[in-house]
């Protein structure tokens, strides 16, 4: 065994051979050397474990193809593009919303050039970064004032810190949600210094439950959108307008964490979520929602409400620590401008386009994807269509199924579906799909037409390697 180590080529010889490949020669030498060292370390481990016994397997020209693959894959950026074929539109693990072309262009402009980020072009004096989106948000939502912070979690924290620090906030027991990533309403409340006052029961909360809890230390009444679950059966929830009226009667502000917060009216049916406009019209004092959920913009926490309260929130020193950067601002303004015409928004904002895609459209697109894969994959796989459902995701529209047509891919080698799914995570770009009834499936809802070719190439990479 000791002998085998001596058959390993030198790192320098391996490096020299790799550098003959012009693509690899472009890599920083230090990185290349580290990657080669890692591969050699793995080879020594194989020798130690006895899984390599023949010295012929350690010749440089035998090792070279494997080395090239290892170096190429090790040199890829860690954060990279993937193909989302899961059918989950707002997939938090896959980056939530993708931006409209108009928003991408605005981001690219904002980061490549100087801008009037905090400069008033009219007066030549210092301006406010929020001036770029506040009037737009007011026009779109009907609110008097608006503010944007890093994300909706930050928005909720900032709102509570400003409006209810050291005072009680009355919330229904049915709305004490955890949305994942350790964001739980009771914990956020505690961290912000507000005191949670739970009322009602898990399934039913009445207006008098809120009213009975009001005392001299009450700071606010709050509603939270039940993002990722649904209470069905014998239930009762107090509406935004009832709660707003109660707040007015007792001179208490009423807050709502809308979660996803849509500016687009999906027109009921399966997608019967209240819009931000409706929440504002109901008379709530302050409403917050995410920029990258149903809105389809960049990560952001948008706060709209009465001038009186928004002014107070703007002055909170915590606001400075949660402020958004210029790229977010550029993407958000461009996205919001699309909403000035709802039809344009539906056509151009990818998240809206994917959510509103009809079953018929998806059937046509699924057929197109199936034909392409059938042609490209030849006899390496069987490609078929089955009816299925997609989900909006991102904690919006829980338990609401969106009808779709899935494209199934079954390798002729009888490779198991979960094996195929795992191997597709290592293709360029990775193809992320899902398994239904033991078959690997692609949902065209979240794949763009121009990605069909990449999805096919990813499948070929795996199936042809077999
Ligand atoms: C998603 C969500 C949040 C957090 O929003 P982020 O923008 O992810 O920080 C807060 N509250 C509710 C109800 C949510 O659904």
Average pLDDT over residues 90-119: 97
Structural domains in the chain, CATH included, are 2-75 (no CATH), 83-93+355-465 (3.90.1150.110), 101-348 (3.40.640.10)
**What is the per-residue pLDDT for 53?**
84
Distance CA 224, CA 129 (A): 28
Q: How far is the CA of 251 from the centre of ligand 1 (A)?
A: 27
Q: Is the pLDDT of residue 294 over 70?
A: yes
Distance, CA 159 to ligand 1 centroid (Å)?
A: 14
Q: What is the pLDDT of residues 316-353, one digit of tens each?
A: 999 999 999 999 999 999 999 999 999 999 999 999 99
Task: Considering only the C-alpha atoms of the chain, give the largest distance between any 2 of them, rounded to a whole number of Å.
Answer: 88
Q: What is the structure's pLDDT at 271?
A: 74
Shortest-distance Cα residue to atom 13 of ligand 1: 259
Strands (E) located in 113-267: 119-120, 125-126, 145-149, 168-172, 195-199, 218-224, 254-257
Is the model's pLDDT at 187 over the cut of 60? yes
Binning pLDDT at 50, 70 and 90, where does residue 270 land? Answer: low
Q: Is the pTM of this model over 0.85?
A: yes
| Ligand 1, atom 15: closest residue by C-alpha | 259
Q: Are 105 and 244 in contact (CB under 8 A)?
A: no
227 Cα nearest atom in ligand 1? 15
Does residue 179 carry a pLDDT above 80?
no
List, for residues 422-459, the tens digit of each pLDDT value: 999 999 999 999 999 999 999 999 999 999 999 999 99
The closest-lying atom of ligand 1 relative to the alpha carbon of residue 300 is 7
CA dist., res. 367 & res. 354, Å (int): 17
Spell out which residues line ligand 1, taking CB within 6 angstroms. Answer: 151-153, 156, 177, 179, 183, 224-225, 227, 257, 259-260, 290, 301, 395
Distance between CA atoms of residues 413 and 158, nearest Å: 56
pLDDT band at 388 (very low <50, low <70, confident <90, very high): very high
d(CA 179, ligand 1 centre) in Å: 7
Indicate the average pLDDT of the chain: 94
CA dist 406 and 444 (Å) reads 7
pLDDT of residue 1: 55
CA 289 – ligand 1 centroid, Å: 7
Residue 137: pLDDT above 70? yes
pLDDT for 2: 60
The number of angstroms, rounded, from the C-alpha of 450 to the middle of its chain's C-alpha atoms is 21
Ligand 1 pocket test target in 156, 224, 294, 395 with most atoms within 8 Å of CB? 395
Could you tell me which of 335, 324, 185, 192 has the C-alpha nearest to residue 257?
A: 185
Q: Which one has a higher pLDDT value, 394 or 133?
A: 133
Residues 136-145 have a mean pLDDT of 98
Tens digit of each residue's pLDDT (9 = 90 or more) over 39-94: 999 999 999 998 888 888 889 999 999 999 999 989 999 999 999 999 999 999 99
Alpha carbon of 338 to ligand 1 centroid (Å): 23
pLDDT at position 203, please? 87
Supply the pLDDT for residue 399. 67
- C-alpha of residue 334 to centroid of ligand 1, in Å: 22
> What pLDDT, in 10s, does the model give residues 200-242?
988 889 999 999 999 999 999 999 988 667 777 888 889 999 9
Strands 381-393 and 88-90, by their bridges, are parallel
Which pLDDT score is estimated for 183?
A: 81
* C-alpha 268 – ligand 1 centre gap (Å): 22
């Amino acid at each position: 065994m000791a002998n085998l180590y001596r058959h390993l080529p030198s790192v320098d010889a391996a490096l020299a051979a790799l550098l003959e490949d012009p693509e690899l020669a472009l890599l920083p030498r230090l990185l290349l050397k580290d990657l080669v060292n890692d591969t050699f370390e793995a080879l020594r481990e194989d020798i130690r474990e006895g899984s390599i016994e023949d010295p012929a397997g350690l010749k440089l020209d035998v090792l070279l193809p494997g080395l090239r693959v290892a170096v190429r894959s090790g040199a890829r950026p860690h954060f990279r593009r993937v193909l989302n074929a899961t059918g989950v539109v707002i997939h938090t693990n896959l980056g939530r919303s993708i931006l409209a072309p108009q928003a991408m262009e605005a981001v690219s402009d904002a980061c490549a050039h100087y801008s009037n980020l905090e400069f008033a072009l009219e007066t030549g004096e210092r301006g406010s970064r929020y001036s770029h989106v506040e009037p737009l948000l007011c026009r779109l939502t009907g609110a008097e004032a608006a503010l944007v912070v890093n994300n909706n979690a930050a928005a909720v924290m900032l709102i509570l810190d400003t409006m209810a620090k050291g005072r009680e906030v009355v919330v229904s027991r049915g709305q004490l949600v955890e949305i994942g990533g350790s964001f739980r309403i009771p914990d956020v409340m505690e961290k912000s210094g507000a005191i949670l006052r739970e009322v009602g029961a898990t399934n039913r909360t009445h207006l008098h439950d809120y009213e009975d809890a009001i005392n001299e230390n009450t700071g606010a009444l709050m509603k939270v959108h039940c993002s990722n679950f649904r209470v069905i059966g014998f239930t009762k929830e107090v509406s935004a307008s009832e709660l707003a009226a109660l707040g007015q009667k007792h001179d208490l502000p009423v807050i709502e964490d809308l979660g996803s917060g849509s500016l687009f009216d999906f027109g009921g049916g399966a997608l019967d979520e209240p819009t931000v406009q409706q929440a504002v019209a109901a008379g709530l004092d302050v409403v917050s929602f995410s920029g990258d959920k149903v809105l389809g913009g960049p990560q952001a926490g948008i706060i709209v409400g009465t001038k009186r309260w928004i002014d107070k929130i703007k002055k909170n020193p915590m606001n400075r620590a949660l402020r958004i950067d210029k790229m977010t601002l550029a993407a958000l303004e461009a996205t919001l401008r699309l909403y000035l015409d709802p039809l344009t928004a539906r056509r151009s904002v990818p998240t809206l386009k994917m959510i509103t895609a009809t079953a018929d459209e998806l059937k046509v697109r699924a057929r197109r994807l199936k034909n392409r894969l059938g042609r490209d994959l030849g006899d390496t796989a069987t490609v078929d269509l089955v009816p299925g459902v997609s989900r909006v995701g991102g904690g919006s529209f829980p338990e609401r199924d969106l009808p779709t047509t899935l494209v199934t891919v079954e390798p002729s080698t009888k490779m198991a579906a979960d094996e195929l799914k795992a191997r597709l995570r290592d293709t360029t770009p990775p193809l992320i799909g899902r398994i239904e009834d033991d078959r690997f499936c692609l949902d065209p809802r979240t794949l763009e037409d121009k990605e069909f070719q990449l999805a096919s190439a990813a499948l070929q990479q795996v199936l042809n390697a077999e």
